[in-house]
Amino acid sequence: MGITAKHKKELELTDLNTETFLAIALNTVTNLNWQISEVTTSEISAYTSFSLYSWSEKVTIQVEKNKVLLKSECTGNQIIDFGKNKNNINLFITQFEQLKNNLSEGEIIEKIKLFNEALSQSTENKLDTKVIESNNFNSILSILKPSKGYFITPIIIYLNVLYFLVMVFNGVDLFEPSGDSLLPWGANYKAITLNGEWWRMVSSCFIHIGIFHLLMNMYALIYIGLLLEPILGKMHFLSAYLLSGLLASLISLWWHDNSVGAGASGAIFGMYGVFLALLTTNYIEQSARKVFLSSIGIFVGYNLLNGIKGNVDNAAHIGGLISGMAIGYAFLPSLRNINDLKLKHLIIGLVAVTTAIITSLVYISIPNNIGIYLSKMKEFGEREEVSLGIYKIDPNASKQQILNAIEYKGIYSWKENVNIINDLEKLDLPSEIKNKIEPLKNYSNLRLKLNQLLFKQINEETNDYKFEIDSLNKQIEIILADYEKLK
């Protein structure tokens, strides 16, 4: 078990020197059909073949003084390996011992020659490509500590966890918070975000919909952070995370009409997108490309398919993934020239400015029909409250005062509300909102007719309209009862 799962074994180097041991070890790895990643004067690393029994684990054979450290580690985001890594180590030892016992002195010399050739070739390749290093974290707590090559990831984790705890301590449900409870904390919602609160596209990346949502996202972030942050460096990693998160929120905003968006998954998918982009170039060592393309591809594919079931913001996931890939390709020149600080700052700045321009253009072009609907409904409610004020008229008021109240508070308000409903009918709105408009239209027309009859009854000082007024009141009660069911 571990993050990721791994197995280690230490052996004594007794009857062989370092060079001879590594030469035989290299031959053993080749016979096992493992893909050699790197060869140094003290270490060999390779990836196992992808099969039913192996998911391309990374095996490292390291010689230090008189000891040999063997390590097999999962490359996918596996917490439990079900014995795969231990089997790899045992298989290597068995094959190594058989080979060592069967080699003649001349064959050993030949293996040493082949080892030195592989060493020379590996050194040349390392100058041109980036080797993915295995992490040295031994506990859960160690992966939460900022360190060299892994500094930004833990800080992002702290921010997400801290923000979540503050929300919970202020009354947000620990397990299944409602969308309404997340909005005051900066969740992404089209009607509000497009109404000038653009910052929600960023703040929503640090809000989570319950503890399980938070834990799953933080685990995915830890895995990609362990792999990617040492390759990108702090500035590239942080800017890629924030920019892909922003674009993921933008796509979610464009796609969804009436749902609350929250979570770091859009930004995390962006980091997987960056890694996928680098894996499709020769920037990453060749032996690692196929391995990590498989593991990352499985992770991305599973999560996107899982999102089809609903209650998952796949728009943000896809938006983050594509954005991350674009950012990854854009960063490539500065990654290849990592010591050129001017180039690094220039490219990061250009990517940030381009992202800001794209975000602004899309932001202002997205129709905010939900926002218009909510604004109109707020006006509708205010006019309704004014119209109902006619039932609170002073009983001692004169006939003219009562007629004025009905005409200017009642009849006028309901005519305006009918116009509001007519405007709402022209908007492109989700079906669950559209279904509420027709009852409101009927309700408004009934209220308008009721006020007109009340005006006539009082003005003519007659009870001739009593039956019709009672009938309208009953119809209004029925419509209000049915409308409550639609909420």
Please tell me the distance from the alpha carbon of residue 417 to that of residue 382, in angstroms, as a whole number.
10
- Helix/strand/coil for 174: coil
> 290 vs 361, which has greater pLDDT?
361
Instruction: Categorize the per-residue pLDDT at 135 as very low, low, confident or very high, splitting at 50, 70 and 90.
Output: low
Task: Find the catalytic residue in 45, 239, 265, 444.
Answer: 265
Answer yes or no: 317 catalytic. Answer: yes
Inter-residue contact 68 to 13 (CB < 8 Å) = yes
Looking at the structure, give the CATH architecture of the domain made up of residues 6-128: 2-Layer Sandwich (3.30)
Considering only the C-alpha atoms of the chain, give the largest distance between any 2 of them, rounded to a whole number of Å: 124
pLDDT value at position 290? 80
pTM, entire model: 0.84
How much is the mean pLDDT over the chain?
91
Burial 458-475 (b: 16+ CB within 10 A, else e): eeeeeeebeeebeebeee
Answer yes or no: 213 catalytic. Answer: no
Mean pLDDT, residues 153-160: 96
Task: Kindly report each contact of residues 126-130 with a partner whose C-beta sits within 8 Å and lies 24 or more positions away, as own/partner.
Answer: 126/38, 126/285, 128/282, 129/282, 129/283, 129/284, 129/285, 129/286, 130/231, 130/278, 130/283, 130/284, 130/285, 130/335
Q: Scanning the structure block, which residue is given the tokens 């591809």?
A: 297
**Fold match between 6-128 and 141-365?**
no
Looking at the structure, give the CATH architecture of the domain made up of residues 141-365: Up-down Bundle (1.20)
| 199-239 pLDDT per residue, tens | 999 999 999 999 999 999 999 999 899 899 999 999 999 99
Q: What's the N-to-C CA distance of the chain in angstroms?
A: 48
Task: Find the catalytic residue in 72, 317, 323, 334.
Answer: 317
Please tell me the distance from the alpha carbon of residue 197 to that of residue 186, in angstroms, as a whole number.
9
- Residue 16 has which token pair? 């062989």
User: Do you know the residue count of the chain?
Assistant: 487
- Residue 93 above 80 pLDDT? yes
- Residue 10 has which token pair? 């230490």
- Residue 17 has which token pair? 């020197």
Instruction: Categorize the per-residue pLDDT at 80 as very low, low, confident or very high, splitting at 50, 70 and 90.
Output: confident
Instruction: Categorize the per-residue pLDDT at 15 as very low, low, confident or very high, splitting at 50, 70 and 90.
Output: confident
- Where in the chain are the domains? 6-128, 141-365, 369-486
Half-sphere exposure of 54 toward its Cβ, with a 13 Å CA cutoff?
Answer: 22
In sequence order, which ranges of 67-136 are alpha helices (DSSP H)? Answer: 84-102, 105-128
